[in-house]
Chain A
């Protein structure tokens, strides 16, 4: 419907494997080394899960200046660090044409806990007015918007598993619709003891009460749950003509995006649940899979997600078994809100190397489904 085309002109990532721009991500992907290991940030001795992909605290020190770092929560520093790297990579400036879309699954739960504990320990006098704003999930976007001068829409999307994918798709939509000239879009989550402990107790993390060893094994026969990661990854998306006009180094084009819902009960996913016609199914079936050379998926080792994703793609890709199972980056970086943006970033790097078309697909428990098609820039 729109003649405004969207390209990727920058990338910034702070994850358990690497920190930097497009070259850093390309290096981490080429190395293919998993950043998952025993949790260092807190004691897991009494938990059934003990693995995670953690960002080294010392790397954060170099990303955000000391004064700002003192005022900011850890997740805000992760988001801000990745956004600053992304705009530096793209060499894009702030202003009324620059927007931001942040996807997150858990937001700043650390601040929510600290705020509540202030009250539980000391009553009303223990409540911190400094911490309270962080309990609202849009604080990461707000902090980043101030730092990069983003005065176009600043949007935060809360979503399980696909927060980063959804943020990139919405960011591309904003440019196509003329709501912004450039958008910094991606996702962020941090590893947080209370969330980790409770997810482990609920059997939501590997090994999910199975006898197989703990680990992230998407689409494998012995997959037994996701392993959490943390970090932030943001892409700079721009309107193609404007990017060309300013001489931006274009990585790839976001050729198409779609997101929709496959109705199911909250927090569930069933491989038998068919997508009767969400915009994602229409996009994949409509474009055909003939030109697709690679497919990334949201499969993260959670059997419900893995099996559902494989079944949905098997139906919609029309017999392209060579694309199944889709490539998962969860074993490298762990499951977190920035992972979807890492997938799109990896697809952009593929396209920059000449891969014809890359489908970045996602399905989450609860039914949210996404698709981003990345192609070489024309």
Chain B
């Protein structure tokens, strides 16, 4: 359906800024250091009472990191990490003045300020009502966009994209379309999710959480490990970026976005929607599968997802046709932030020529015919890389990034 953004004369989109607050800490530097070291940040949860649950671990942002983010403690945890990450991305991009003010803001979000809302609601339920309403005002996902849009003074299109675990990737894709259409020259795009009781309890109820740190693509995988993060990219019309002398991390060469229309919680068993998303992304980028050297998989560690994704990768790239890893094994499944966290990981992998590993992978599932980079990061110069994000509701988003020297 979709043509290449480059081929039809529309603006090329590049990534000119990154900002992340992850379980490794605040900042892109700590994020990359953790990924490169293959350090698994999945540990016992402290922000939620886990008594009585099958899984009691997650990749949590350390309290000392959240407490030193520099924004008001009156804001929700999610707002605070989102604001810090978006600020870092904007500062990193060097955008100033009108070019910065005109930026679009697209935020992938699911949980909103639910962590604080839950405390409020549970208190009321247990007969200890709070008179304050602040927790309620920030409980909905769009509160992040209101907070960031107001604090950062952005006047461009503002959207809160709720596409489950594909939200962060979708916000990047939809922001790119605004640039390609000439609506804005720049956009701040990404996702955020803080740990919430609802998320933790829900995935426990579905028995989708591994009691031990997750093992994507392992023969004995038993589910995922949840996490929390905020990651934002500044994406920009390449001509605009070039004209102002901005730094280019990578080119967002293309994307694909499809819906399974199959089941609310289960992926299509043959990975049909996933295959189409990856193929669309390649077509959009004007690339062949052989041009892509690395795929940052959705790779949750659940038997169903990894099986379907392996089938889909196989259909697109052929057996062993691409190096694959899941950074969820390192920083957990950060839900609405996952797509932008993994986009950032993919971009940094291209930049550094080092592919982050899949942690905890000991016995590769025989149905996964790929080198999944077990345990240790691998040096590899790849020109283009793919990042997959799939979510409840059969939402599939694939992003293709290229090294800047490949950009026009």
Q: Number of B residues contacting the other chain (C-beta, 8 Å)? A: 76
B395 touches A261 (CB 8 A): no
B126-146: which residues lie under 8 A (CB-CB) from chain A? 126, 133, 136-138, 140-143, 145-146
Residues from chain A with Cβ under 8 Å of B101 in the complex:
276-277
Judge if A2 is at the interface, Cβ distance under 8 Å: yes
Judge if A141 is at the interface, Cβ distance under 8 Å: yes
A138 touches B163 (CB 8 A): yes
Judge if B365 is at the interface, Cβ distance under 8 Å: no
Judge if B41 is at the interface, Cβ distance under 8 Å: no
Judge if B70 is at the interface, Cβ distance under 8 Å: no
Q: Which of B133, B141, B263 contacts A146 (CB 8 A)?
A: B263
Judge if B3 is at the interface, Cβ distance under 8 Å: yes
Known contacts A124-B201, A151-B261, A155-B170: A133-B155 contact under CB 8 Å: no
Q: Which of A145, A177, A181 contacts B180 (CB 8 A)?
A: A177
Q: Which of B109, B170, B202, B394 contacts A115 (CB 8 A)?
A: B202
A276 touches B155 (CB 8 A): yes
B158 touches A152 (CB 8 A): no
Q: Which of A120, A123, A202 contacts B122 (CB 8 A)?
A: A120
A312–B206 Cα distance when bound, in Å, is: 48
B205 touches A132 (CB 8 A): yes
A145–B163 Cα distance when bound, in Å, is: 13
B157 touches A259 (CB 8 A): yes
Chain A residue with the shortest CB-CB distance to B260: A151
Chain B residue with the shortest CB-CB distance to A99: B259
Min CB distance B181 to A, Å, is: 5
Residues from chain B with Cβ under 8 Å of A117 in the complex:
125
A261 touches B102 (CB 8 A): no
B264 touches A139 (CB 8 A): yes
Min CB distance B58 to A, Å, is: 16
Q: Which of A116, A141, A277 contacts B155 (CB 8 A)?
A: A277
A159 touches B52 (CB 8 A): no
A180–B110 Cα distance when bound, in Å, is: 24
A139 touches B261 (CB 8 A): no
B163-188: which residues lie under 8 A (CB-CB) from chain A? 163-164, 170, 174, 177-178, 180-184
A137 touches B150 (CB 8 A): no
Q: Which of B146, B159, B262 contacts A166 (CB 8 A)?
A: B159
Judge if B161 is at the interface, Cβ distance under 8 Å: yes
A133–B163 Cα distance when bound, in Å, is: 12
A127–B126 Cα distance when bound, in Å, is: 18
A145 touches B259 (CB 8 A): yes
B159 touches A180 (CB 8 A): no
B261 touches A146 (CB 8 A): yes
A96 touches B258 (CB 8 A): yes
Min CB distance A60 to B, Å, is: 19
Chain B residue with the shortest CB-CB distance to A120: B125
B177 touches A179 (CB 8 A): yes
Q: Which of B2, B118, B264 contacts A116 (CB 8 A)?
A: B118
Residues from chain A with Cβ under 8 Å of B292 in the complex:
none
Q: Which of A152, A157, A367 contacts B258 (CB 8 A)?
A: A152
Residues from chain B with Cβ under 8 Å of A146 in the complex:
261-264, 394
Residues from chain B with Cβ under 8 Å of A278 in the complex:
155-156
A356–B159 Cα distance when bound, in Å, is: 30
B137 touches A266 (CB 8 A): yes
Chain B residue with the shortest CB-CB distance to A105: B140
Residues from chain A with Cβ under 8 Å of B145 in the complex:
366, 368
Known contacts A133-B392, A266-B138: A279-B183 contact under CB 8 Å: yes
Residues from chain B with Cβ under 8 Å of A366 in the complex:
142, 145-146, 149-150
Judge if B1 is at the interface, Cβ distance under 8 Å: yes
Residues from chain B with Cβ under 8 Å of A178 in the complex:
1-3
A136 touches B162 (CB 8 A): yes
Judge if B407 is at the interface, Cβ distance under 8 Å: no
B198 touches A177 (CB 8 A): no
Residues from chain B with Cβ under 8 Å of A267 in the complex:
137, 146
Residues from chain B with Cβ under 8 Å of A128 in the complex:
205
Residues from chain A with Cβ under 8 Å of B202 in the complex:
115, 127, 129, 132-133, 135
Known contacts A138-B391, A149-B261: A129-B206 contact under CB 8 Å: yes
Min CB distance B169 to A, Å, is: 12
Judge if A330 is at the interface, Cβ distance under 8 Å: no
Q: Which of B157, B257, B393 contacts A142 (CB 8 A)?
A: B393
Residues from chain B with Cβ under 8 Å of A2 in the complex:
181
Known contacts A116-B121, A127-B201: A279-B146 contact under CB 8 Å: no
Residues from chain B with Cβ under 8 Å of A266 in the complex:
137-138, 143, 146-147, 150
B158 touches A145 (CB 8 A): no
A44–B359 Cα distance when bound, in Å, is: 54
Judge if A237 is at the interface, Cβ distance under 8 Å: no
Known contacts A153-B258, A266-B147: A159-B160 contact under CB 8 Å: yes
Min CB distance B319 to A, Å, is: 26
Residue among A132, A179, A259, A266 with max Cβ neighbours from chain B (10 Å): A266
A176-205: which residues lie under 8 A (CB-CB) from chain B? 176-181, 198, 201-202
Known contacts A120-B122, A170-B159, A366-B146: A127-B205 contact under CB 8 Å: yes
B245-304: which residues lie under 8 A (CB-CB) from chain A? 257-265, 273, 276
Residues from chain B with Cβ under 8 Å of A124 in the complex:
52-53, 201, 204-205
B67-106: which residues lie under 8 A (CB-CB) from chain A? 101-102, 105
Residues from chain A with Cβ under 8 Å of B161 in the complex:
155-157
Chain A residue with the shortest CB-CB distance to B198: A135
B110 touches A261 (CB 8 A): no
Residues from chain B with Cβ under 8 Å of A156 in the complex:
161-163
A292–B263 Cα distance when bound, in Å, is: 44
Judge if B7 is at the interface, Cβ distance under 8 Å: no
B206 touches A138 (CB 8 A): no
B1 touches A158 (CB 8 A): no
Residues from chain A with Cβ under 8 Å of B162 in the complex:
107, 136-138, 156-158
Min CB distance B205 to A, Å, is: 4
Chain B residue with the shortest CB-CB distance to A141: B393
Judge if B29 is at the interface, Cβ distance under 8 Å: no
B110 touches A137 (CB 8 A): yes
A143–B136 Cα distance when bound, in Å, is: 27
A176–B287 Cα distance when bound, in Å, is: 23
Residues from chain B with Cβ under 8 Å of A8 in the complex:
none
Residue among A99, A136, A153 with max Cβ neighbours from chain B (10 Å): A136
Judge if B10 is at the interface, Cβ distance under 8 Å: yes
Residues from chain B with Cβ under 8 Å of A127 in the complex:
201-202, 204-205
Not counting A112-B198, A160-B140, a sample of 6 additional A-B residue pairs whose C-beta atoms are within 8 angstroms of each other reads: A129-B207, A133-B392, A138-B162, A139-B264, A151-B259, A157-B159
**A–B complex contacts, Cβ < 8 Å, 27 sampled:** A1-B181, A97-B1, A115-B201, A123-B52, A129-B207, A136-B162, A137-B141, A138-B164, A138-B395, A139-B264, A142-B394, A155-B170, A157-B160, A158-B141, A158-B162, A159-B142, A159-B159, A160-B142, A170-B174, A258-B157, A259-B159, A260-B155, A263-B149, A263-B155, A267-B146, A277-B101, A367-B158
The 10 closest A-B pairs by CB, nearest first: A142-B393, A132-B202, A266-B146, A366-B146, A127-B205, A154-B259, A261-B158, A137-B162, A153-B257, A156-B162
